[in-house]
């Protein structure tokens, strides 16, 4: 069989007879504009055609919204991941270079929590753990328990009359030496900014979250619930693994001081 | 300010259309089927192309070129329909290929050939269809595709080579 015959046979398979087409086309072409829409061959054209204009506008609007969302989302993500502008990176490096020296608590021994200080003149909490310039509440408010461990909101009050610049928080369980980790709390001003290299991830509130070995307090951005005139409060999402005992030691490094806080 | 009508010109009468363009509708339909492999879509294309041709008919001064000119419009509408192909695929499902009874082997061969035709570019497929299916001479094919006869011939040879790499051109053109 010649190529011509093959091609004809192949195309004839998909070319069914259309005896009425000539008349339909004449009627279609000679119809008025309004009738012509009705006379189109396939019903799908009747309704899709009337929607083409509006749907094009809708599609264009959706595209604009999508692009805008991507731009805003990208900015938001960048802002969330960028280090706080109020933190001097050189100062932070200097604080990070300080070694962590926390005491060890023998298994079964009592947790040597930091002494309580009366701060009723500087904030809503009457007594907080520590001797300053950074004070902590007890870990009373359990935020979430995950497969990895237990998460709390660490609430620190800072005497800003004596402390300035960034403050670095690092910690561990004093009996097991399991590292305390910090997670970002998105869109929450006043929360400690997680720093250092990502150690692992955990699922917090249904969201896979990166965990860091450090938190940095940006003293220029206190917790939004801080009342005017009070010493500013800074919060951090802090967790420790299941194997830990909950006797947590925190080393707080700031300009001109290193403080150890023990909380449980 | 004058209001422009939706349909700018109606230069020819129904009789003119019936006399001039209607006889070409079967050719247009065969071309559209060959290009699209989808009969309902081909009918749509012929209708739209006929309307376009009728509106522009007064611009065609040499009526001896009517067939090539009209088929050129059909080919262009086929290209546009191809761009909207995803709609057809969603709405139509399988084409009517399977409704034609034939031996299984021949049916498979023809399906392979159709697939090969569809894999050609629009212009390559067009010259193959015009030459082999509508039996048009190269000079008319050149008018449809808007190229010189030499360019149309070169395109035809190239398309044949893609369809049948081992086949000599002289044998293929028989």
Partners of A44 on chain B (C-beta within 8 Å) are 87, 91
The three-state secondary structure class of A195 is strand
Residue A243 has pLDDT above 60, yes or no: yes
Residue in this structure with the two tokens 């969330």, named with its chain if needed: A80
Give the pLDDT confidence of A100-149 residue by residue, as tens digits: 999 899 888 888 989 888 888 887 766 888 988 999 887 755 667 888 89
Residue range A44-100, pLDDT digits in tens: 445 555 666 777 888 888 888 888 888 776 665 555 555 555 678 888 888 999 999
Lowest mean pLDDT of A223-232, B61-70, B145-154, name the range. Answer: A223-232
What pLDDT score was predicted for residue B103? 61
CB contact under 8 A, A18 and B6: no
Partner residue facing B47 (CB), from A11, A16, A25? A25
Give the closest-approach CA distance of B146 to chain A in angstroms. Answer: 23
**Separation of alpha carbons A45 and A42, rounded Å:** 6
Position A203 scores a pLDDT of 84
pLDDT classification of B87: cutoffs 50, 70, 90: very low
Average pLDDT value for chain A: 81
SS3 state at A55: helix
For chain A, where are the E strands, in sequence order?
116-118, 127-129, 134-136, 142-145, 149-158, 167-173, 181-183, 193-195, 200-204, 207-212, 214-217, 233-241, 248-254, 257-263
Task: Determine the distance from the C-alpha atom of residue A117 to the mean position of all C-alpha atoms in its chain, rounded to a whole number.
Answer: 34
Nearest partner of B134 among B20, B35, B64, B47, judged by Cα: B35
> Would the CA dihedral through A78, A84, A88, A94 be positive or negative?
negative
pLDDT value, residue A35? 62
SS3 content of chain A, % helix, strand, coil (to 5): 30, 30, 45
**Which residues on chain B are in Cβ contact (under 8 Å) with A19?**
none
Confidence of residue B16 (pLDDT cuts 50, 70, 90): confident
**Cβ burial A139-176 (10 Å sphere, 16+ → b, else e):** beeebbebebbbbbbbbbbbbeeebebbbbbbbbbbbb
* Residue B2 binned pLDDT confidence (cut-offs 50, 70, 90): very low
State yes or no: pLDDT of B95 exceeds 70: no
Which of B33, B115, B171 to substitute to test the interface with A, most A CBs within 10 Å? B33
Cβ <8 Å between B26 and A16:
no
Give the pLDDT confidence score for residue A160 in this predicted structure. 86
Q: Is A114 left (phi over 0), alpha (psi -120 to 50) or beta?
A: beta
ipTM: 0.80
Would the CB atoms of B43 and A15 count as touching at under 8 Å? no
Taking only the tens place, the pLDDT of each residue in A139-181 is 755 667 888 898 888 888 899 888 888 899 999 999 999 999 9
CB contact under 8 A, A21 and B46: yes
Q: Counting Cβ atoms within 10 Å, is residue A106 exposed (0-12), middle (13-18) or buried (19+)?
A: exposed
Of A14, A40, A44, the CB nearest to B114: A14
Chain pair A-B, CB pairs under 8 angstroms: 113
| Tens digit of each residue's pLDDT (9 = 90 or more) over A198-213 | 889 888 777 788 889 9
pLDDT given at position B30: 93
Write b or e for each residue in A188-225: b if 16 or more Cβ atoms lie within 10 A of its Cβ, otherwise e: eebbbbbbbeeeeebebeeeebbbbbbbbbbbebbbee
Q: What is the pLDDT of residues A17-28, one digit of tens each?
A: 888 888 888 888
């Amino acid at each position: 069989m010649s190529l011509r015959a093959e091609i004809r046979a192949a195309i004839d398979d998909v070319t069914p007879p259309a005896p009425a087409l000539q008349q339909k086309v004449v009627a279609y072409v000679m119809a008025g504009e309004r009738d012509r829409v009705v006379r189109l061959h396939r019903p799908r054209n009747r309704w899709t055609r009337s929607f083409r204009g509006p749907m094009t506008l809708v599609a264009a609007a959706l595209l604009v919204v999508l692009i805008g969302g991507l731009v805003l989302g990208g900015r938001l993500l960048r802002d969330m991941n960028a280090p706080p502008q109020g933190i001097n990176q050189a100062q932070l490096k200097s604080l990070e270079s300080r070694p962590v020296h926390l005491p060890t608590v023998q298994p079964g021994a009592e947790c040597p929590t930091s002494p309580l200080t009366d701060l009723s003149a500087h904030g809503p909490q009457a007594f907080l753990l520590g001797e300053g310039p950074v004070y902590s509440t007890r870990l009373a408010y359990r935020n979430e328990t995950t497969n990895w461990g237990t998460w709390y909101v660490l609430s620190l009050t800072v005497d800003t009359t004596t402390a300035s610049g960034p403050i670095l928080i690092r910690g561990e369980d004093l009996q097991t030496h399991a590292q305390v980790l910090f997670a970002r709390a998105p869109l929450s001003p006043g929360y400690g900014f997680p720093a250092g290299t990502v150690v692992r991830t955990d699922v917090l509130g249904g969201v896979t979250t990166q965990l860091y070995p450090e938190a940095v307090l940006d003293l220029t951005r206190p917790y939004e619930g801080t009342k005017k005139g009070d010493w500013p409060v800074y919060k951090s999402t802090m967790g420790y693994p299941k194997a830990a005992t909950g006797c947590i030691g925190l080393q707080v490094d700031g300009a001109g001081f290193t403080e150890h806080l023990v909380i449980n | 300010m004058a209001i422009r009508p939706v349909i700018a010109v109606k230069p020819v009468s129904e009789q003119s259309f019936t006399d001039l363009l209607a006889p070409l509708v079967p050719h247009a339909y065969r071309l559209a089927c060959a290009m699209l492999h989808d009969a309902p879509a081909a009918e749509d294309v012929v209708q739209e192309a006929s309307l376009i041709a009728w509106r522009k008919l007064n611009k065609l001064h040499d009526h001896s070129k009517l067939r090539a000119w009209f088929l050129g419009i059909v080919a262009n509408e086929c290209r546009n329909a191809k761009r909207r192909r995803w709609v057809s695929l969603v709405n139509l499902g399988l084409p009517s290929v399977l409704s034609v009874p034939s031996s299984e082997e021949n049916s498979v061969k023809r399906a392979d050939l159709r697939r090969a035709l569809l894999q050609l570019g629009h212009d390559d497929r067009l010259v193959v269809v015009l030459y082999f299916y509508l039996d048009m001479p190269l000079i008319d094919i050149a008018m449809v595709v808007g190229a010189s006869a030499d360019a149309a011939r070169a395109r035809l040879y190239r398309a044949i080579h893609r369809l049948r790499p081992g086949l000599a051109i002289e044998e293929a053109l028989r």
